[in-house]
Chains A and B, each alone.
Chain A
Amino acid sequence: MIFLSGSLAVVGVLAISLGAVSIQLSKTCSILLHRFFGLTASTGWTARDASIILDLRLPRVISGALVGAALAIAGGVLQALLRNPLADPYVLGISSGAAVGAVLAILFGLGSTLLGSYAIPGAAFAGALLTLLFVYFLARVQGRVPAQTMLLAGVIVSSFFSAMIMFLISVTSDERLYNITFWLMGNLEYVASQALGVIFLYLLGGSAVLFSLTRDLNLMALGEETASELGVEVERVKKTAFVFASLITGAVVSVSGLIGFVGLVVPHIVRMIWGPDHRFLIPASALVGASFLVLADTVARTVMAPSEIPVGVVTAMGGAPFFVYLLRRKGLAANH
């Protein structure tokens, strides 16, 4: 765990020093140390350097870490609840719900109203929450929420909302189309630093609750009846976990758009390397997910600098082949 935290810090600093304007690593370090610990003297760099590092890149790296961590935690939790290693935060339809909210906000030009830059994330978050409630009540049978039904309801709601997004896009023809598309592809460019604080609080609260459920998740992975036989209050744990996983997903999706593969691949990798004990898996996934997304975002910023590609494209392009590699390797190992 310490190792993973360390690597996250290293990845973060590296990511901050890289970018369209090149700033040396040593310079980056001293700017950061000066700003946060007052250690090094404020010499050797210009105000412009400091501004790039502290005002542009640092918030972006932090938002990458937060979004990555949230998606990976939610992915790990949902994989355990649904007893399916291929589940991810998007299967419950939360992302499509958020997307519908965001697209509607863009279409109705809410971005230019009083609400300003909060309008789109706000609408997306509302969309995510409404979808969660909708899926939840759709899946409820006699006061219980069977995981399988929840999964089905999620998939159905998700595809319905996707169709709705397609429809909205097809009737849009001006520059708003570009905004929508860019949001749907997922990127960290527009995460305002004010919003960061709010997301951080959501994530902190949400993951604290989820961490407290990790031992129950181990048992839930053996099946709901088994978990109950071993003393888990199944319905309560399931409801809590679904709600909080959705909440943190909704919070980050609302600002970052749709960034795929993090929630799917990261818990998978952690499980392959360190085993499936969720007491380790979930926190480790948070750290690995954070590092992974910061890394991916750095690639997104730098490969075609000064222009950027959406980070969702990078995670999918990098994540998918890596995932295939892991699966193949595991498949071969199992056969021998």
Chain B
Amino acid sequence: MESVFFRYPGREIFRDLTLYLEEGEILGLIGPNSSGKTTLLKLMDGLLQPQRGKVFLEKEGLRQLPRPQVAKQIAVVPQEMEVPFPFTAGEIVLMGRAPYLGRFGWEKRKDLDIAREGMALTDVAGLENRPFLELSQGEKQRVLMARALAQEPKVILLDEPTSHLDINHQVEFNELIRRLNREKKLTVLNISHDLNLAAEYSHRIALLHRGLIYALGTPSTVITEENIRRVYETTVMVERNPFTGAPRVTPVGKTKGEPSGPQKTIHLICGEGSGVDSARRLLLRGYRVSLGVLNMGDTDQKIGKTLGLAMALEEPFSAISERAYGENQVLIEKADLVVVERFLVGKGNLPNLQAAIDALRKGKRVVVLENNLEYDFTGGEARVCYRRLKEEGAVFIPDHSRLLEEAGKHLNPN
């Protein structure tokens, strides 16, 4: 479509919007609610007409084409479809053959075969004689996909087809799209709320914002922390999916920000992700949390950063220096409780245990997660530290289930 203007009565949706769906691609269309995604889809299918501008199917204006011609080339899978009559799933799929039949024509052998093939591809072959009304959301969605395939289209427009599916069907559905795209050269426009699935399965992504294409390009150029924050007004963390390399979005949500709970601070001595769970649970209960000493690039450090926590930091892969140790002590000084998480202890981070011992001697309360030191890289020094902690009066707990309880006991004595 080229330079499209569209307004509903009383509400302008698109001003001068241009978007090309390229042959053979999977284009993911993302954007917040009411950014115009579904309207864009309806324009592309000719269900709505732009007030200005033109929508093209290859070289021809979509408006000039008779509807059966359009239906042979473009199929739509809606979010849902209500049917007031008890049609069977098989009948619904066969309706996809409608554009190929004459006015009085009944379906022929070939049409039945094509419909069956579609049903087999979407894994609903067994549902042929079941009433559509009685199917589950996921089954309905796949039947509608089978109907779209029965149209033998060149282009398929998907309007959040996986929003009602559970995770295995979401993945299967997207795998099917990818396969059809490769094998049948199907061009796909996929509206999605799920940024991760869109990033994973799209060749290109268009980010729609207030009726404009805010960004368009490969998933990694479009799905960035900056773009998502601007358009969705939400803070997220974008990493790489370790299995596929696609960008992966994690909402940071509201855990960041001012605590509203007990206003007490808990310092976690942790590393390699051992502090993540505790930090999150404590934040949700309204505690302030600080971390230390962590190496830059450590899992705990990255998450601590997005959560906006106070941290004592050390250079990557370096032993804890005097400076970092000092910073950690300042944080411990401010904290009402110190928790020693279960992390691997080596020569480099041994000072972290020493810091906990110091804290005890200064009268701080310290909770320690029992650690059997299965891998001891310190030649026994870690074991000595743990013994010292016990002697100095630290509270040992077997696992995290008692952490909140202990924290509550020490911080709110009444």
Bound together, the chains give a CA A212 to CA B85 distance in angstroms of 20
Q: Is the CB of B81 within 8 A of A231?
A: no
Interface centre among A222, A228, A229, A234 (most CB of B within 10 A): A229
Q: Which of B66, B91, B105, B106 contacts A233 (CB 8 A)?
A: B66
Q: Is the CB of B85 within 8 A of A229?
A: no
Decide if A146 is an interface residue (CB 8 Å cutoff). no
Bound together, the chains give a CA A277 to CA B45 distance in angstroms of 26
Q: Is the CB of B45 within 8 A of A230?
A: no
Decide if B104 is an interface residue (CB 8 Å cutoff). yes
6 A-B pairs with the lowest CB-CB distances in the bound complex, closest first: A231-B71, A231-B99, A231-B68, A276-B85, A229-B76, A231-B67
Q: Is the CB of B84 within 8 A of A85?
A: yes
Q: Is the CB of A228 within 8 A of B82?
A: no
Q: Which residues does chain B contribute within 8 Å of A215, judged by CB atoms?
A: 98, 101, 103-105
In A193-211, the 8 Å CB interface with B consists of: none
Q: Which residues does chain A contribute within 8 Å of B70, judged by CB atoms?
A: 231
Decide if B78 is an interface residue (CB 8 Å cutoff). yes
9 A-B pairs, CB-CB below 8 angstroms?
Answer: A212-B104, A218-B87, A226-B78, A230-B98, A231-B67, A231-B99, A275-B91, A277-B91, A279-B106
Decide if A223 is an interface residue (CB 8 Å cutoff). yes
Q: Which of A83, A212, A230, A276 contacts B71 (CB 8 A)?
A: A230
Q: Which residues does chain B contribute within 8 Å of A228, judged by CB atoms?
A: 46-47, 67
Decide if B141 is an interface residue (CB 8 Å cutoff). no
Q: Is the CB of A223 within 8 A of B81?
A: yes
Q: Is the CB of B67 within 8 A of A223?
A: no
Closest chain A residue, CB of each to CB of B69: A231
Q: Which residues does chain A contribute within 8 Å of B46, judged by CB atoms?
A: 228
Q: Is the CB of B45 within 8 A of A229?
A: yes
Closest chain A residue, CB of each to CB of B78: A226
Q: Which residues does chain A contribute within 8 Å of B342, judged by CB atoms?
A: none
Q: How many residues of chain A are within 8 Å of chain B by beta carbon?
A: 25
Bound together, the chains give a CA A222 to CA B104 distance in angstroms of 19
Bound together, the chains give a CA A84 to CA B99 distance in angstroms of 25
Bound together, the chains give a CA A226 to CA B86 distance in angstroms of 17
Decide if A155 is an interface residue (CB 8 Å cutoff). no
Q: Is the CB of A226 within 8 A of B98?
A: no
Bound together, the chains give a CA A277 to CA B69 distance in angstroms of 24
Q: Is the CB of B151 within 8 A of A223?
A: no
Closest chain B residue, CB of each to CB of A218: B95
Interface centre among B68, B74, B95, B103 (most CB of A within 10 A): B95
Q: Is the CB of A229 within 8 A of B84?
A: no
Decide if B75 is an interface residue (CB 8 Å cutoff). yes
Q: Which residues does chain B contribute within 8 Å of A29, judged by CB atoms?
A: none
Decide if B72 is an interface residue (CB 8 Å cutoff). yes
Decide if A221 is an interface residue (CB 8 Å cutoff). yes
Q: Which of B45, B75, B81, B106 contacts A222 (CB 8 A)?
A: B81
Known: A212-B103, A215-B103, A279-B106. A232 touches B98 (CB 8 A): yes
Known: A230-B95, A230-B151, A231-B99. A222 touches B67 (CB 8 A): no
Bound together, the chains give a CA A328 to CA B98 distance in angstroms of 34
Q: Is the CB of A225 within 8 A of B47?
A: yes
Decide if A70 is an interface residue (CB 8 Å cutoff). no
Decide if A219 is an interface residue (CB 8 Å cutoff). yes
Q: Is the CB of A231 within 8 A of B104?
A: no
Decide if A271 is an interface residue (CB 8 Å cutoff). yes
Decide if B167 is an interface residue (CB 8 Å cutoff). no
- Chain B window 28-52, contacts with chain A (Cβ cutoff 8 Å), 1 for yes, 0 for no: 0000000000000010011100000
Bound together, the chains give a CA A83 to CA B91 distance in angstroms of 17
Q: Is the CB of A231 within 8 A of B87?
A: no
Bound together, the chains give a CA A279 to CA B104 distance in angstroms of 9
Decide if B83 is an interface residue (CB 8 Å cutoff). yes
Decide if B118 is an interface residue (CB 8 Å cutoff). no
Q: Is the CB of A276 within 8 A of B81?
A: no
Q: Is the CB of A230 within 8 A of B99?
A: yes
Decide if B304 is an interface residue (CB 8 Å cutoff). no
Q: Is the CB of B47 within 8 A of A84?
A: no
Q: Which residues does chain B contribute within 8 Å of A223, judged by CB atoms?
A: 81-82
Closest chain A residue, CB of each to CB of B133: A334
Closest chain A residue, CB of each to CB of B101: A215
Q: Which residues does chain A contribute within 8 Å of B106, judged by CB atoms?
A: 279
Bound together, the chains give a CA A69 to CA B45 distance in angstroms of 39
Q: Which of A83, A218, A233, A271 contacts B67 (CB 8 A)?
A: A233
Decide if B161 is an interface residue (CB 8 Å cutoff). no
B298 CB to nearest chain A CB (Å): 52
Decide if B247 is an interface residue (CB 8 Å cutoff). no
Q: Which residues does chain A contribute within 8 Å of B85, judged by CB atoms?
A: 80, 85, 221, 271, 276
Q: Which residues does chain B contribute within 8 Å of A231, judged by CB atoms?
A: 67-72, 98-99
In B96-136, the 8 Å CB interface with A consists of: 96, 98-99, 101, 103-106
